[in-house]
Amino acid sequence: MTSVTGRRSAAELDVVVVGSVNLDLVARVERLPSPGETLTAHGVTRHPGGKGANQALACARLGATVRLVGAVGSDPLADEALALLRDGGVDLSAVREVDAPTGTALIQVDDHGDTTIVIDTGANGFVTTGDLAADLVLTVLEVPDEAVAAAMAASGFTVLNAAPARAVDEAVLRTVDLLSVNDDEHATLGRTADLDALPAVVVTRGASGATLYRHGREAASAEPPPVDAVDGTAAGDAFTAALALALVEGRPDDEALTRACAVGALTATRAGAQPALPTRPDLDAFLEGHA
């Protein structure tokens, strides 16, 4: 496990994300359908996504140097799924092309910004790891267990965004410096592991904010500024990336959590996953406007 000492800027940090790359197919609906119900969408759009790719681009837009370890197919979706990462300066040299379709996500977004998401893993099921040397290493549960374990065993500050919810080997959890979960994910992992033993756990609750625990004791809590939510698809990914960066920068817990909540809220005001992720100037202006 890695402790953070001293104050650094995001521009001084090297980040590796071991994670998923998807193309998101997004249907806008007035409300989310009930089981068996058919609704007419306002329209359907396509955006680059994937929890790993989202966090990689979020870190890059907040000023860090970022490398993504992932996998895509040899199909036409791959270029589309990687387009904004390339534009954002993320190093894609460790994204492999494999004999499987590029991952896709089928997303419904209602008029309140709430979502349902169904993922076809595709090439993400073939993610392997290589050189993981970095100040900050993040991973998600949209990649194989072996890749998650390797990422969390890296020498940098390690962050596991435990989504989508599933059990994680307790030996792997003991190598995690920061675990990021929502209430459901917290409950799922808590059935098989003592989460209070971890150095840091952040539990997110959407518009109700988030709480950071250190060894089971509350260290900080924050609520996001009030916003008109448009699409919450990548808000959690942006939150996790922003919190991880802020902690590795050496910011105090309360300041780091406040910044992360602001990044999540700002992301939710825009449509799409990666198109919604804010830049550092976006965040600074947003925080100044809500001071």
Please tell me the number of Cα atoms within 13 Å of 102 on its side-chain side. Answer: 23
* CA distances to 32, 211, 222 from 205, in Å: 19, 9, 10
* Closest C-alpha among 266, 274, 279, 278 to residue 23: 274
Is residue 93 within 8 Å of 67, Cβ to Cβ? Answer: yes
Give the residue numbers annotated as catalytic, written as ranges.
237
Residue 77: both structure tokens together: 């979706």
Measured from the Cβ of residue 5, the count of other Cβ atoms closer than 10 Å reads 7
Residue 31's Cα: distance from chain center in Å?
A: 25
Grouping H, G, I as helix, E, B as strand and the rest as coil, residue 94 is strand
